[in-house]
């Protein structure tokens, strides 16, 4: 797989825009070697000259879970053996979802020097972003294993395999988020600050530190049942806790994927030709 360089044109990335949005998405997806290597190199570049590499992220997560978990168990009157697995399983998925969203804010901004000078599918940036965050997620799963194994080894059963389709649904949503948020942030440079604020608030109002059953009535409906991030987390967290995810969580996640992809596709089709100019 090669990328055709066109140095004779200062904005040669515009040549790639003659294809349709569908051709961009399908063509980018087919170049697995390219976006796979881009994602891997991004991880290596971020932790260059460090001894532990991406495991630093896992160490930070482990210290955070133990510190907050011991305090949270007391605040929420939870058994530590129950609360720590709940917290760590939710945090590993939250870090995947939140990092995909936050990285999407700069995915096209940092990639403009590349797509302005070479023939390139814009969707490759989205696939590479989701792939590299999935790699970090796999590293963070080590923290889940180290916490759960001594506390509740029974959680490592067949039900845990249901986390695999849940992760797939999260990654599927991650691609359209990367495309849509990436275009918005490239066009409107105030959006990254807005996204960062929303993520900070979402972390507090989503059942990460507190159990969903602690709310009832309208509070549960608003902060749990109608919270899209909760359902994205729950389709992975529930199997990691030995539970089958609720049908409503699967339905909500699939609905988010269908609606998100539909909106992102038409936005990509409509504004794709302007991406190079926005840069």
Residue 211 lies in a domain: yes
Burial class (CB in 10 A: 0-12, 13-18, 19+), 106: middle
Give me the mean pLDDT over the 146-172 stretch: 94
Residue 213 lies in a domain: yes
Residue 3 lies in a domain: no
Q: What is the pLDDT of residue 10?
A: 41
Q: What is the pLDDT of residue 42?
A: 83
Which residue, 67, 64, 57, 65, is CA-closest to 140? 57
Give me the mean pLDDT over the 243-255 stretch: 96
Which structural domain range is residue 53 located in? 19-278
CB-CB contact of 269 with 21 (8 Å): yes
Higher pLDDT, 73 or 279: 73
Of 50-64, 90-104, 158-172, 177-191, which range is least confident? 50-64
Q: 152: left (phi > 0), else alpha (psi -120 to 50), else beta?
A: beta
Q: Over the stretch 122-141, which tens digit does the pLDDT of each residue have?
A: 999 999 999 999 999 998 99
Higher pLDDT, 275 or 250: 250
Higher pLDDT, 116 or 33: 33
Residue 252 lies in a domain: yes
In three-state secondary structure terms, 5 is: strand
pTM of the model: 0.88
- Does residue 158 register a pLDDT over 90? yes
Residue 122 lies in a domain: yes
Looking at the structure of the chain, the number of domains it has is 1
Residue 5 lies in a domain: no
Give me the mean pLDDT over the 10-35 stretch: 74
Q: What is the pLDDT of residue 112?
A: 79
- Does residue 16 register a pLDDT over 60? no
Work out the pLDDT band at 273, boundaries 50, 70, 90: confident
CB-CB contact of 155 with 48 (8 Å): no
Residue 124 CB partners (closer than 8 Å, separation 6+): 28, 31, 34, 35, 38
Burial class (CB in 10 A: 0-12, 13-18, 19+), 64: middle
Residue 1 lies in a domain: no
Residue 152 lies in a domain: yes
């Amino acid at each position: 797989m090669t990328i055709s360089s066109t140095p004779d044109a200062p904005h040669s990335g515009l040549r790639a825009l003659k294809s349709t949005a569908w051709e961009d998405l399908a063509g980018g997806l087919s170049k697995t070697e390219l976006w796979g290597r881009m994602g891997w190199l991004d991880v290596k570049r971020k932790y260059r000259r460090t001894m532990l590499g991406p495991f630093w992220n896992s160490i930070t997560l482990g210290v955070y879970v133990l510190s907050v978990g011991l305090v949270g168990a007391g605040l929420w009157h939870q058994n530590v053996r129950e609360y720590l697995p709940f917290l760590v399983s939710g945090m590993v998925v939250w870090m995947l979802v939140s990092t995909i969203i936050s990285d999407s804010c700069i995915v096209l901004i940092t990639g403009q020097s590349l797509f302005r000078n070479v023939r390139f599918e814009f969707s490759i940036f989205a696939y590479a972003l989701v792939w590299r965050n999935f790699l970090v997620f796999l590293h963070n799963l080590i923290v889940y294993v180290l916490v759960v194994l001594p506390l509740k080894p029974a959680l490592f059963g067949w039900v845990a395999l249901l986390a695999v389709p849940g992760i797939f649904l999260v990654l599927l949503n991650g691609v359209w988020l990367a495309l849509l948020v990436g275009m918005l942030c490239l066009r409107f440079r105030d959006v990254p600050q807005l996204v960062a604020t929303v993520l900070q608030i979402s972390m507090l109002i989503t059942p990460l530190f507190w159990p969903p059953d602690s709310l009832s009535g309208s509070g549960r409906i608003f902060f749990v049942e109608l919270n899209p991030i909760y359902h994205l987390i729950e389709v992975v967290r529930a199997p990691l806790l030995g539970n089958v995810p609720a049908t409503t969580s699967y339905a909500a996640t699939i609905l988010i994927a269908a609606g998100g992809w539909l909106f992102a596709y038409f936005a990509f089709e409509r504004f794709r030709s302007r991406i190079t100019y926005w840069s």
